[in-house]
Amino acid sequence: MNLVVLGATGSIGSQTLEIARRRGHRVLAVSAWHGGDRLWRVVDEFRAEAYAFKEGDDRPGVGRRIDGDDALRELALWPGADAVVVAVNGFDGLTPMLAALAAGRRVAAATKESIIAGGDLLRGAVARGLLLPVDSEHAAAFQLLQRRRAEEVRRLIITTSGGALRDWPLERLPLAQPQDALRHPNWNMGQLVTINSATLMNKGIEVLEAHVLFGLPLDAIDVWIHPTQMVHALLETRDGALYASLARPDMMLPIEQALMHPDLPVDALRPLEPEDLRELTFRRPDPLRYPSLRLCREVGTIGGTTPAVLCAANEVAVSAFLAGTLPFTEIVPVVESVLDAHAPAANPDLGALHASDRWARATAENVLRRRAGR
């Protein structure tokens, strides 16, 4: 299989490259945020034909560098690619994703912000077998939904660990420092995703993602806290039965499932044993601890440009928290302030989504300045 890997040096990208080594896939083109030793090692190892990065020094003679605003789009359309793995943060993944889908290429998508911002532009791609989610919960949901008619489904439940601060007393949350929120109990992820796990903003966004990917109503998608995260998704059918997808918390499985569909990969990870399943506990998220879940459902009801605004404003707020200039418990209120100031536009095209993204970032910065001046 010939791959393009966008976000090759991040967590998902690195694991995709490990799969390529194990399975003998060829990597034709890669991107990373920074040019540097990690990117050059990837280019050299796989003899990539092309690469792109936003920041850093070039190293001539190692393939063709693609520059400019359309660099990711050009890589996504690189000749000979069978699948494009989109593992870039935020909204940057939408344009290359749409380009690859329009060209009939398989997209393994690990960029939930781009999926919910794209909304109507992406609907139907999963049903056509072109857009496959690289996300433990949505990959599991995809498998559970494969042989179910829409009218048979009553509820989809996606699970969460609850994040690094799930057991902190509520009164202590304003004191949480970045190093506290970055100690995820189960997964090794980037900083943005890990902080989003602590606020459960990631899970609210995943509710919207399931709504886009699978066409399920928002009120048919639930979130349960499951600390060990051996169960990644559950599907309730109209007869009252509950079906679960269980696997070790390892992203190798959803990546390989996305690349191999409709076939299943062989030995993608070590199977579970009975002793691994001693503790299967669940509880509902506390709305006071996790106001992001309410906010994301409101955004999903409004639709249009609001999901793009949500994601952009959240990125700015999380960056301020990581920089030590915003308390943990103020992340969601900053995002809500930006949404309150937004005039949603229905059925946005790509240009309107980009404009909304820029507006949200500038507005979030203004909100942060006002708060700092209190």
Q: Give dist(CA 66, CA 63) in Å, integer.
A: 10
**Fold classification of 303-374 (topology level):** Rna Polymerase Sigma Factor; Chain: A (1.10.1740)
Q: How far is CA 261 from CA 13, 20, 132, 247, 265, in A?
A: 19, 16, 8, 18, 8
Look up residue 357 and give its two tokens.
């993204």
| pLDDT tens digits for range 310-349 | 999 999 999 999 999 999 999 999 999 999 999 999 999 9
Give the count of alpha carbons within 13 A of 287, CB side only.
Answer: 4
CA-CA-CA-CA dihedral for 175, 181, 182, 183, to nearest 10: 110
- CATH superfamily placement of domain 2-133: NAD(P)-binding Rossmann-like Domain (3.40.50.720)
Contact by Cβ (8 Å): 293, 204: yes
Torsion sign across C-alpha atoms 341, 178, 300, 93:
positive
Residues of the chain with pLDDT under 50: none
Euclidean distance between CA atoms 322 and 315, whole angstroms:
11
What is the Cα 73 distance to its own chain's centre? Answer: 19
- DSSP alpha helices (H): ranges in the chain? 11-23, 37-46, 71-76, 94-102, 112-118, 136-145, 178-181, 191-199, 201-214, 252-260, 292-302, 306-322, 331-340, 350-372
Phi, psi for residue 86 in degrees, rounded to 5? -105, 105
DSSP 8-state secondary structure symbol assigned to residue 89 = S
Where residue 165 falls (left for φ over 0; alpha for ψ -120 to 50; beta otherwise) is alpha
Where are the domains positioned within the chain?
Answer: 2-133, 136-248+280-292, 303-374
Q: What per-residue string of b and e applies to 268-280 under the rule 16 or more CB within 10 Å gives b?
A: beeeeeeeeeeee
Q: Environment class of residue 133 by beta-carbon count within 10 Å: exposed (0-12), middle (13-18) or buried (19+)?
A: buried
Tokens matching residue 252:
């190798």
Distances (CA, A) of 277 to 229, 251, 280: 10, 19, 6
**Are 84 and 96 spatial neighbours (Cβ–Cβ below 8 Å)?**
yes
Task: Give the pLDDT score at 341.
Answer: 98
